[in-house]
Amino acid sequence: MIETVRDLLDNYWVLTPVKVLAVLAIFLTFPLVVGYMEHKVMAHMQARLGPMEAGRFHGVLQLVADGIKFVQKESIIPRAADKWVFALAPAVALIPAILVFGFIPYGPNLVPIPSDVGLFVTLALSSVSVIGVLMAAWSSANKYSLMGGIRAAAQLIAYELPLVLAAAAVAMQAGSADLAVIVERQGWWGYIVGPLVVGFFVYGTAALAELTRPPFDMPVADSELVFGHLTEYTGLRFAFFLLTEYAGIVSQSAIAATLFLGGWKGPFLDGPWWLAAKVLLLSFGVIWARSTYPRLREDQLQSFAWIRLVPLSLALLLVVGFLKVYEVGV
Amino acid sequence: MPALKGVGLIKGLGVTLKTMTRPAATRQYPHVRPNLPARTRGVIALIEENCTVCMLCSRECPDWCIYIDSHKEQVAPKEGGRARTRNLLDRFAIDFALCMYCGICVEVCPFDALHWSPEFEYAEHQVERLTHEMDTLRKWAYTVPAPDPLEVGAVEPKELESARKAREAAAAKAAAAAEQARTAAAPAPAAPAPAASPAVGTAPVPGAGGAAPAPPVAAAPAAARPADVEVEPGIDQATYDRLLAAGEPDRTARAKAKAAYMRRAKAEARAAQAAGGAGAAPAPAPPAPGSVETPAAAVAAPETTPAAPSAAGTPEAAEAAPDAREPEARSPEGEPTAAGTAVDVAPGAAVAQADAEHLEIEVDQETYDRLIAAGEPERTARAKAKAAYARKLRAAQRGGGSGGLKPSPPEGEAS
């Protein structure tokens, strides 16, 4: 029986839809779980209860209810907007966010799209989302949207550098850019035990900024820019942007877990559950930072990236290179 | 300056994490009732039987959100007295859309008709529906918590004091009478004669007179209370005229005339009793049975009847009996008119009748009798009895049956 299923799955035309469905299932569940977690964790950190009604038990279906609400909303396109670009922008932001999930190693030999440059593909894909943001900002014909989009682009450029440098340090340590290989070269404790803990810090901070999550959410600073590039969006398109944001949290957490925390490896039984646990833990960290820190000023954000993080990650790369060459602690 | 840069960032994380592990401040209100103080000022309730339509609340209200309608009624003249007027409350409404909950009306009410109720869930979808009428205000009054007990050593309130004194006097008298009954020979109907010794002036209030506890010796219930003469209240016209002519104010003159009448009437009654008490004629000035002035007398009467079931022998019982029967006899035709709106009684009706109907319809008689017997002031007893009645009525409605409802007005209520 198992043999038959395995033979069937060897067929490309059977395996591919299965993979697509699996990735879509992950894409549609985990961001909702993280979104619900954000509601509840942030509420409790503010001595509130958060959603309590939808779904009877502690508001578990709150995000489903939100989704139904968004579907019902009127989809408004401003008269002066560049209609095609405006309509396309959410898709441009959303699709790369889905694709990232295809390159994550979920377990031993469990990579939907095996690639020997998986690390760079995922980083590149997660940066494409900002194109969607820029499209939305420009096509909205709204000064707040445009300012928000430009901030998002500037932020991406500033933080992409330390992000890639930190990831490069990991790739150098592992000797490969294949995410599956990177996981296999780590112990279950991951690269975080060692000098790469600095890399983890740099990567985490830069990822927060790339996701425009608080305290780095200047592109959507409501006191200055209404809601940045999302100002003119309503209904389902707005929901897609929100979904992109939460999918981004999950995918960035997954990449960080893969690079620094040992991916699917764990102390007892290796498997996808370890990755899921680590993703949720890192997502909790993202939410924790959001409910703790106030928003940075735009210039502080830029100087923090260029003056602190970039030199730090360059130094890290240097140190990891030296250790690698002289084979210390490998 | 902190010892290490960035320590504040870690501390901040600690604060949020600590807050997360602690219980939230949120109250799940519609699911969990708020734990409010007992005397929460939620809404203003009205005890309408305390209201004398003095209009003080309405006039003091800064928002003018209290609406009062009333009409005057002629009180049937006393024997020898003049017709009096009194106010009957037709409408008492508070517009809670205007009310700012200052509580001045509650403060200013001289008759404790207005109270703060802790009820607070009376939101409405339309502003007009926030004007609540007498029936709603009355229902809220049942949620008003009872007053706190007095502090140790506090001065006893006047009405409680008078009630207590009356009770004590009655008890002492009953004890004395029982003593006499024991010492006196059994076949002596003349035995009551010495009982005239209690001074006429100290005779207890008619209401409290019936409240005497049942005499310990059940064998001679009639002989047990010889001094307890019940007389119809009235006015001594001669005294009244004389005093008025002498320049006394009307109120004083009336009071003194009444006192004089009562003294005379009681003396006559006792004389008749002493003269053999055949009981055929309730000799002392039998007034028209309908002209009972205080409802207390009418209510106190039923209690005396069970004490002397074979009452035909004593003039006291003979006298009490018609009064006791009176309201019940009248009730059948009285109910339907008064059932819906007790205030809308035909304006010409005699007050006595209105009173009787009032009691018959709205008051739980058992509770009333019990409370009067316990020495409560008449007004308190009536209010509590009314509350008890309303409780029973509600319980009956909730239970689906009208069981446990003694004066059975639901039929009238429903129509």
Domain definitions of chain A by residue range: 76-325
How much is the average pLDDT of A62-69? Answer: 89
Q: Is B310 on the interface with A (CB under 8 A)?
A: no
**Contact: B16, A52; criterion CB under 8 Å:** no
Q: Which of B355, B346, B357, B336 is nearest to B411 (CA)?
A: B336
Q: How far apart are CA A113 and CA A101, in angstroms?
A: 9
Q: How far apart are CA A64 and CA A43, in angstroms?
A: 18
Average pLDDT taken over every residue of chain B: 70
Q: Is A314 on the interface with B (CB under 8 A)?
A: no
Per-residue confidence band for B204, with pLDDT thresholds at 50, 70 and 90: very low
Which range, of A50-54, A250-254, B267-271, averages the lowest pLDDT?
B267-271
Q: pLDDT, tens digit, for every residue of A80-92?
A: 888 889 988 998 9
ipTM exceeding 0.90, yes/no: no
The pLDDT > 90 percentage for chain B reads 16
Question: Do B60 and B108 contact (CB within 8 A), yes or no?
Answer: yes
For β-strands B43-46 and B131-132, DSSP reports them as unpaired
Question: Do A291 and A42 contact (CB within 8 A), yes or no?
Answer: yes
Question: Do B23 and A46 contact (CB within 8 A), yes or no?
Answer: no
B337 compared with A110, residue with greater pLDDT: A110
**pLDDT for position B39:** 87
- Residues B57-74 as b/e (b if ≥16 CB within 10 A, e otherwise) read bbeebeeebbebebeebe
CA distance A52 to chain B (A): 9
**pLDDT for position A83:** 85
Q: Which two tokens stand for residue B356?
A: 């009787």
Out of B12, B24, B28, the one facing A293 most closely (by C-beta) is: B12
CB-CB neighbors (< 8 A) of A285 in chain B? none
Per-residue confidence band for B338, with pLDDT thresholds at 50, 70 and 90: very low
Q: How far apart are CA B206 and CA B304, in angstroms?
A: 12
Cis peptide before A17 (omega within 30 of 0): no
Rounded to 5 degrees, φ, ψ at B312 are -55, -25
Name the residue type at position B135: D
How much is the average pLDDT of B114-141? Answer: 90
Interface A–B counts its CB contacts (< 8 A) at 33
Neighbours of B324 (CB within 10 A): 19
Per-residue confidence band for A191, with pLDDT thresholds at 50, 70 and 90: confident
Q: Looking at chain B, which residue has its C-alpha nearest residue A286?
A: B13
Per-residue confidence band for B66, with pLDDT thresholds at 50, 70 and 90: very high
Which range, of B37-46, B258-267, B302-311, averages the lowest pLDDT?
B302-311
Assess whether pLDDT exceeds 80 at residue B137: yes
**pLDDT for position B228:** 54
Backbone Cα Rg of chain B: 28
How much is the average pLDDT of B367-373? Answer: 83
Per-residue confidence band for B175, with pLDDT thresholds at 50, 70 and 90: very high
| Torsion B266-B268-B274-B280 (CA) sign | negative
CB-CB neighbors (< 8 A) of B28 in chain A? 49, 52
Helix (H) or strand (E) holding B413: helix B410-414
CB-CB neighbors (< 8 A) of B16 in chain A? 45, 288, 291-292
Q: How far apart are CA A102 and CA B307, in angstroms?
A: 97
CA distance B41 to chain A (A): 27
Q: Which of A29, A61, A241 is nearest to A149 (CA)?
A: A241
Q: Is A166 on the interface with B (CB under 8 A)?
A: no
**Contact: A292, B16; criterion CB under 8 Å:** yes
Q: Is A287 on the interface with B (CB under 8 A)?
A: no
Q: Is B30 on the interface with A (CB under 8 A)?
A: no
